[in-house]
């Protein structure tokens, strides 16, 4: 049955709300008719040899169709693009470009990367290195193997999954820091970053502890600084498809799962989504332990006298610590804990507090409406927690229990391999 103009217009508007809808079979015919009417009304319409599929027109009645056409064109070639709603522009000339042939797309690198990177493709993976570190490793025995340098990797571009999926599905399933690129009928492509630091020195660099008079140390510091600078510009890389730039990576979200890297012990923790912006990690330089706090509690305690120690830190809000325990150290067996990894001579252990270290238990859902909540008790709490409003007490309480109850959902990454959630492991 032939659609009326009004029905066709409504179809396209509906398609604009659903990214993966296929093109209607009579699209070319109907849009030719639209152009014919535009021409007959004195509208200036610039034609191409294939006028229908790449046209953007300005008449108010059909303005909504333009975004749909751009999306559908992309869908016919490389699938539902991450940036299908972004304005497309021509690729500038003379820019640093990495072509991913099997995915049908390219990456346009920041201008300042010229001469500073190396890109190598093996087994479907395009690995991009910092050139100064790449050259250093390749010139030294023990710093490279058949797969290339062991240091200096900035990111990898590859088909992460052999199935098409949406951006949301990609970020739910990818276990590493990553950017979604695009989805095709053959799979979903992403840009993933190393799960551990691949330079000589961790950032921030503690210059006071380094011998900057040593030329080799200065070289390593310069390379590490260059690595950190380029790593911070990855989000500015542009995705290019069919000669059109469809957006910068930072426009499509970053890092997927909330991930914290404990670089010096080779462990990464993938945290539940609800942890975002609610936790603080402090490293004890003397013991090497990492302590995870609820941010709202940490900030309250550190801002008020009597609620923290200059050396120990805050008295409340600790969720757990990650530290080393020798084979003869049995202290962690007596408290709630998880053994994260066993190595020669001992284990890395996640230890949980043996007592409750959160604010007075409130009812964060019903505090305003609960008539049984005594105003005198509010006054008492505010005396116990000087300077804290009721809202702040509720926030601290809610944050603590939200994070504490989901510790078992944390996933462990060890030597690049993701283990099961802690709650399904030992402990």
83 lies in some domain: no
Same domain, yes or no: 123 and 228: yes
Same domain, yes or no: 303 and 357: yes
Domain boundary among 32, 49, 77: 77
Same domain, yes or no: 272 and 381: yes
Which of 201, 210, 84, 102 has the alpha carbon at shortest distance from 152?
201
Same domain, yes or no: 139 and 14: no
Same domain, yes or no: 319 and 359: yes
Same domain, yes or no: 413 and 276: yes
| Domains: count for the chain | 3
74, with CB counted inside 10 A (0-12, 13-18, 19+), is buried
241 lies in some domain: yes
Domain boundary among 34, 49, 77: 77
140 lies in some domain: yes
Same domain, yes or no: 395 and 345: yes
316 lies in some domain: yes
410 lies in some domain: yes
Same domain, yes or no: 100 and 213: yes
Same domain, yes or no: 247 and 302: no
pLDDT of the chain along its 427 residues, tens only? 444 555 555 555 555 444 444 555 565 565 555 445 544 444 444 433 333 322 222 222 232 333 333 333 333 333 334 443 333 334 444 678 999 988 889 999 999 999 999 999 998 899 999 999 999 999 999 999 988 999 999 999 999 999 998 887 888 788 777 889 999 888 999 999 886 666 777 666 777 788 888 998 899 999 989 998 998 899 889 999 888 887 888 766 644 567 787 877 778 888 887 898 899 999 888 888 999 999 999 999 999 888 998 888 898 999 999 998 998 888 888 888 888 888 788 889 999 987 777 776 666 555 554 445 566 777 777 778 888 887 888 888 889 988 988 898 888 877 656 666 776 544 3
Same domain, yes or no: 235 and 361: no
Query: 351-380: string of b/e by CB count within 10 Å (b at 16+)?
Result: bbbeeebbbeebeeeeeeeeeeeeeeeeee
Same domain, yes or no: 293 and 361: yes
Domain boundary among 252, 282, 298: 252
Query: 282-302: string of b/e by CB count within 10 Å (b at 16+)?
Result: eeeeeeeebbbbbbbbbbbbe
Domain of 357 in residue numbering reads as 258-424
Same domain, yes or no: 18 and 70: yes
pLDDT in tens, 166-201: 887 888 788 777 889 999 888 999 999 886 666 777
Q: Are strands 411-414 and 267-271 parallel, antiparallel or unpaired?
A: antiparallel
């Amino acid at each position: 049955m032939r659609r009326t103009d009004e029905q066709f217009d409504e179809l396209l508007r509906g398609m604009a709300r659903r990214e993966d809808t296929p093109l209607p079979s009579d699209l070319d015919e109907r849009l030719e008719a639209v152009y014919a009417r535009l021409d007959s009304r004195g509208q200036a319409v610039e034609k191409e040899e294939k006028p229908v599929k790449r046209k953007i027109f300005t008449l108010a009645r059909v303005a909504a169709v333009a975004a749909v056409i751009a999306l559908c064109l992309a869908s016919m070639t490389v699938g539902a693009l991450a940036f299908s709603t972004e304005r497309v522009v021509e690729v500038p000339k003379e820019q640093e470009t990495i072509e991913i042939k099997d995915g049908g797309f390219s990456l346009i690198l920041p201008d300042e990367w010229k001469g500073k990177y190396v890109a190598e493709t093996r087994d479907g993976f395009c690995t991009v290195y910092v050139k100064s570190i790449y050259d250093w490793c390749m010139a030294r025995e023990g710093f490279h193997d058949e797969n290339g340098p062991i240091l200096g990797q900035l990111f990898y571009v590859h088909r992460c999954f052999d199935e098409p999926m949406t951006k949301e599905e990609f970020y739910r399933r990818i276990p590493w820091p990553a950017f979604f690129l695009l989805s095709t009928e053959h799979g979903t492509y992403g840009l993933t970053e190393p799960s551990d630091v691949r330079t000589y020195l961790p950032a921030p660099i503690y210059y006071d502890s380094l011998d900057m008079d040593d030329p080799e140390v200065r070289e390593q510091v310069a390379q590490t600084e260059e690595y950190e600078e380029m790593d911070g510009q990855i989000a500015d890389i542009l995705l290019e498809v069919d000669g059109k730039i469809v957006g910068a990576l930072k426009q499509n979200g970053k890092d997927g799962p909330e991930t914290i890297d404990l670089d010096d012990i080779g462990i990464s923790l993938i945290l539940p989504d609800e942890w975002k912006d609610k936790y603080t990690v402090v490293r004890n330089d003397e013991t090497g332990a990492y302590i995870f706090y609820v941010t709202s509690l940490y900030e309250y305690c550190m801002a008020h006298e009597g609620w923290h120690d200059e050396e120990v830190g805050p008295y409340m809000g600790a969720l757990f610590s990650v530290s080393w325990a020798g084979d003869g150290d049995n202290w962690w067996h007596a408290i709630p804990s998880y053994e994260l990894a066993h190595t020669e001579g001992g284990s890395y252990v996640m230890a949980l507090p043996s007592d409750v270290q959160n604010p007075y238990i409130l009812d964060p859902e019903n505090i305003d409406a609960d008539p049984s909540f005594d105003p005198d008790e509010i006054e008492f709490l505010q005396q116990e927690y000087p300077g804290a409003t009721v809202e702040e007490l509720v926030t601290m309480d809610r944050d603590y229990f939200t994070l504490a109850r989901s510790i078992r959902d944390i996933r462990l990454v060890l030597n690049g391999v993701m283990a099961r959630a802690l709650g399904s492991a030992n402990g």
